[in-house]
Amino acid sequence: MQLFLNQNPLFRVGFIYIFAVFTARNFISDSFWIFSCAFLVLSAISLVFLINKSFKKKSANRWIIGIVFLSSFYFFGVSRYFYCKPNRLDVNGKGIIEGKICSIEGKSKQWIKVGVKVTTLEVSDKTVNQPFNAFVYFPDSAQLADSCFGIPVRIEGIVQSFQNSVIPYQFDYSQYLLNNGYSCIFYAQNIECMKSNSVLNLDQWINKIRSKFRLVFRTAYVDSQNSGFIEAMILGDRSFLDKDLKQAYAKSGVIHILAVSGLHVGILYLMVVFFINILIPKKFKYLKFFIVVFVLLFYAWLTGFSPSVSRAVIMFSLIMFGDMQKLKASFFNTLAASALIISIVDPLSVFNVGFWLSHLAVAGIFVFYPFFRQLINFQFIGWRWIYELVCVSLSAQIMVLPILIYSFNTFSTYFLLGNLIVLPLIPAILFSSFLLLILPQGSFLFKVIAGFSNGLVTFSNDSVNWIASLSGSFIERLSLSITECLVLFIFFISIGAILHTYKKIRLQILILSIFTFFGMFSYRVIHNYYQRNAYIIINKNGAIVNVISGIDNWVYVFNNRKSLSPQFYLSGTWAYFLTKKPEVIIRSTKIESVKLKMDNQVFNLGDLYKDLVKLKQSNFCFNNHSTSLNLPNGLNISVTELKIIGKNEFYLRILYE
């Protein structure tokens, strides 16, 4: 371990910095200036030690310099997080925001979701002049024009503050938006584009280029599914990607293809290097380097600087610079440099799943691929190529598996088949799509390449639809706790360490981690098997009653006016308890007509809802545990959890025998 850290010093620095960002969010209060001052003081002390040559020569004292330096970096991480973190806006009601539309975040049948950099917010005779980011929903009928992007806009609508998800094990959408830098939600009703005083508006300029590229793709790919696929893969914009097609790629285990990543940047890198080697003499190596880096940075900017693209651009740039200087680059040092640079520029990226999936997948390939590759040596080049593709896919999957299960509660069983069929097509699709951007539209060559690429994309889409339709292609309701996830990572890291340089201590860690993981997981499985829970989600429109007995799962939905989604409220609960697929029974029955028997008592759902509304109006504390509810007719129910999850919408968990 000491040798590894000495060979990869940035790994230690990056770990300390990222650890600081995590602790700042979860354990440290907003004492921003205290940590800033501590950072400055410790940095000054470190600088004094480094300048003092006589002290530096004493090798026995070098550890003091290291501790002080790493401590200063820890405080730098804490202060950087507090400087960049968005503040929740505790305001609600009709209001007006002024700012700039900076990004499209998604599109559905009802809404166009965009990110807006707000300069001014006016709501209820209150004005907020502090800049922040708002997540804005535009009605799909609004027909938001491209000309509105990057210029000052004035938007009228309703502002809504974030509300944390109080249902256990469910996805916290508010925290997700906070981690992406947003401070509130805004439902737009009207938009007015204003004149820009800026001579060079870079945001508007890049959006025009993005729109031109989108127009080229829609000309070349007539099928909307194909054009949406290309826009997602080349521009990183999934707004126009067919929802069913996106789900098929997820079920097939190749959803990573739709995210702009190192593969895309690598193809672009090879194309740029090929052309500049033809056009520019070999002696102008620095000019070549700056051209390549400029093109890669421009592409990263065009696609929104996602963590996966940023990681690839940084690593390619560092490796190319090292080769130019004839320096041997350490892979883990380069990977750590990428993570460190991205997290310093944007500390919130540490909480982005894509940040971890990108870096861990590349680390997995480096650690496990050489081992898998040497197991079998095929003489026939075709079989060898297929086996190498399997090795790459398996190596990447090993390291990202804990994150995938922890974040999405799912696993694609046919991910190897999906990668074997689809991955070989991607370089040709990317190369042809990049060529379409530089060829004259309507030319013979443009039409030929467009037809060829259309065929590949159609075959790719048909393949993933077929794989997704196979029985057992997608396992749902999987679950890992954060502790189980970390222990599983330690297990995989121990295997990697043993494969590279065997030591007895690493074998001991490996055995300890696997026994710890299976012990924790087995305890949760056994404990959950004996659980008897009833969950009730109730509002004015109806109710959901979910009964879980061990792994058996029954769901009853009672509707008044509109359908309620058990999946939306309880999918995380089913995953945590590892239940069977729920049997859902939907009845168009008013809750006033529904009676439940619980703890040998019968109560009416309509009376329960009225009672909960009265409790809310009386300022009753709904976050209590083991609360006794006194219901009408003298009934009393012992509730394990009782929470408000919306406007007059309630969540109850009841243990029963």
pLDDT tens, residue by residue, 168-177: 888 888 888 8
Same domain, 182 and 229: no
Count CA atoms closer than 13 A to 597's CA, side-chain side.
2
| Cβ pair 76, 17 in contact under 8 A | yes
Range from 68-77, 86-95, 257-266, 636-645 carrying the lowest mean pLDDT: 636-645
For residue 364, being part of any structural domain is answered with no
Q: Which of 84, 119, 146 is the last residue of a domain?
A: 84
Q: Name the percent of the chain lying above pLDDT 70.
A: 87
Query: Residue 32 is part of which domain span?
Result: 2-84
For residue 121, being part of any structural domain is answered with yes
Same domain, 184 and 272: no
What pLDDT was estimated at residue 143?
Answer: 60
Same domain, 446 and 317: yes
Same domain, 565 and 634: yes
What pLDDT was estimated at residue 60?
Answer: 56
Same domain, 331 and 276: yes
Residues 6+ apart with CB under 8 A from 146: 207, 208, 211
pLDDT tens, residue by residue, 126-145: 888 888 999 999 887 666 66
What pLDDT was estimated at residue 503?
Answer: 59
What pLDDT was estimated at residue 629?
Answer: 67
Residues 6+ apart with CB under 8 A from 214: 231, 235, 237
Is residue 540 scored above 60 in pLDDT?
Answer: yes
Cα–Cα distance between 6 and 62 in angstroms, integer? 13
Number of domains in the chain: 5
Same domain, 497 and 588: no
Tokens 């951007």 belong to residue: 437
Q: Which of 164, 199, 234 is the last residue of a domain?
A: 199
pLDDT tens, residue by residue, 342-371: 999 999 999 988 899 888 999 999 888 988
For residue 261, being part of any structural domain is answered with yes
Range from 134-143, 210-219, 618-627 carrying the lowest mean pLDDT: 618-627
Q: Which of 170, 199, 228 is the last residue of a domain?
A: 199
* Core vs surface per residue 150-161: b (16+ CB within 10 A) or e: bbbbebebebbe
For residue 396, being part of any structural domain is answered with no
For residue 411, being part of any structural domain is answered with no
For residue 157, being part of any structural domain is answered with yes
For residue 368, being part of any structural domain is answered with no
Same domain, 80 and 53: yes
What pLDDT was estimated at residue 466?
Answer: 94
Q: Which of 622, 623, 652, 624 is nearest to 637 (CA)?
A: 652
For residue 316, being part of any structural domain is answered with yes
Mean pLDDT of the chain: 82
Same domain, 651 and 540: yes
Give the amino acid at 157: G
Same domain, 555 and 591: yes
Range from 294-303, 439-448, 598-607, 610-619 carrying the lowest mean pLDDT: 598-607
Is residue 274 scored above 60 in pLDDT?
Answer: yes
Same domain, 282 and 335: yes
Same domain, 612 and 649: yes
Same domain, 461 and 328: yes
